[in-house]
Amino acid sequence: MVGGCRVRAVLFDWGGTLMREFPEYPGPMADWPRVEAIPGAREALEALHGRFALAVATNAGASDEILVRKALARVGLDRYVSAVVTARDLGTTKPDPAFFHAVLERIGCSASEAAMVGDRYGTDIVGAKGAGLRAVWFNPRGGRPPLSHPVHDAEVRTLPELPRVLEGPFLPDLVETLALLRAHGVPENVVRHSLAVAGVAHHLALRLRERGVPVDPLLVHRGALLHDLDKLTSEKPADHGVGAGRILRSRGWPALARIAERHVLGAQPETWEEKVVHYADKVVEEDEVVGLEARVTCLSCRYSAEGEKMARALPGLLALEEAILGALGAGGEELLAELGGLDPALPPFVPSAGAS
């Protein structure tokens, strides 16, 4: 499901997503001496065929629709695809929203009912999100997205994972998440803090995943963005985690709820996602990375009645930091400098903090 709207159509990038690219071969793929489908492509398309409208949406400049279909036929994939739209035929390319809208018009589907699957983050993923679609990042090598704030809705390492992912539910996307914060009256300084925490937490999660730690960076990012969702109405510092959890559970996001509930001082995070958000929140003061002790000092001054509780929480936080540093194989000062240098920029289609 997509924001309450079922996915009806799936758009696939072509080269690198459905079929292998061989840079040594010039000209149209249909004429190459060797063509190969990406492993799992046939299995995925066969499972999706009949349940979704399937289309190829490609920036191919050397191939038109006929040539793309000819290449697909060589590996037995053409039978599953109802439409092929190429940059050569359209005269425009991804990430231009006009490209995506032309594909949607061709298959008779709205953007809210469509998902783009592709391996290129800038053209396929950022482009699709800018046009109002959902976006599933095909990331077989487990690379990092080029943005501190990821915009994709899901990530798959293999194409056969797609049927499960497309049935949803998806996490709220970046635009929806920021809109939810503002709908609940979260002040803009807290929104900026949440964005900073999310960027830090997502970076940590990516690094942990690269070290073999079982953590979901996208869940971490969205959980960090929403950890202060109930900040405005809660009377005590610890209460806003419970309030945010209640809101998120009512929307069907229990994993996000648990992250919110367990980010407050004194809580005991259990999963890696919960631990990473808990830690990231405790090294970011306002929207700057300051480190644990400086952050706890600021919180103690801000909530003087809770000072003793915060002092008691510091040893546990230092132990959590040591566990994260150990998993990363990093030093504390080195990590803080790395986190402080993250680029906080949002994509152009995402309203920034302070926007109405």
243 compared with 136, residue with greater pLDDT? 136
Examine the domain organization and report whether 190 and 234 are in the same domain: yes
Domain for residue 245, yes or no? yes
What would the pLDDT profile of 142-195 be if each residue is shown by its tens digit? 999 999 999 999 999 999 999 999 987 999 999 999 999 999 999 999 999 999
Count structural domains, the chain.
2
Q: Which domain holds residue 146?
A: 9-166
Residue ending a domain, among 144, 166, 188, is 166
Domain for residue 286, yes or no? yes
Domain for residue 345, yes or no? no
Residue ending a domain, among 166, 193, 212, is 166
Examine the domain organization and report whether 190 and 301 are in the same domain: yes
Domain for residue 351, yes or no? no
Examine the domain organization and report whether 98 and 204 are in the same domain: no
Q: What's the 3-state SS for the chain?
A: CECCECCCEEEECCECCCECCCCCCCCCHHHCCCCCECCCHHHHHHHHECCEEEEEEECCCCCCHHHHHHHHHHCCCHHHCCEEEEHHHHCCCCCCHHHHHHHHHHHCCCHHHEEEEECCHHHHHHHHHHCCCEEEEECCCCCCCCCCCCCCCEEECCHHHHHHHHCCCCCCCHHHHHHHHHHCCCCHHHHHHHHHHHHHHHHHHHHHHHCCCCCCHHHHHHHHHCCCCCCCCCCCCCHHHHHHHHHHHHCCCHHHHHHHHCCCCCCCCCCHHHHHHHHHHCCEECCEECCHHHHHHHHHHHCHHHHHHHHHHHHHHHHHHHHHHHHHCCCHHHHHHHHHCCCCCCCCCCCCCCCC
pLDDT of residue 309 exceeding 50: yes
Find the mean pLDDT for residues 204-224. Answer: 98
Domain for residue 350, yes or no? no
Domain for residue 356, yes or no? no
Domain for residue 253, yes or no? yes
What would the pLDDT profile of 310-348 be if each residue is shown by its tens digit? 677 888 999 999 999 999 999 989 999 999 999 988 988
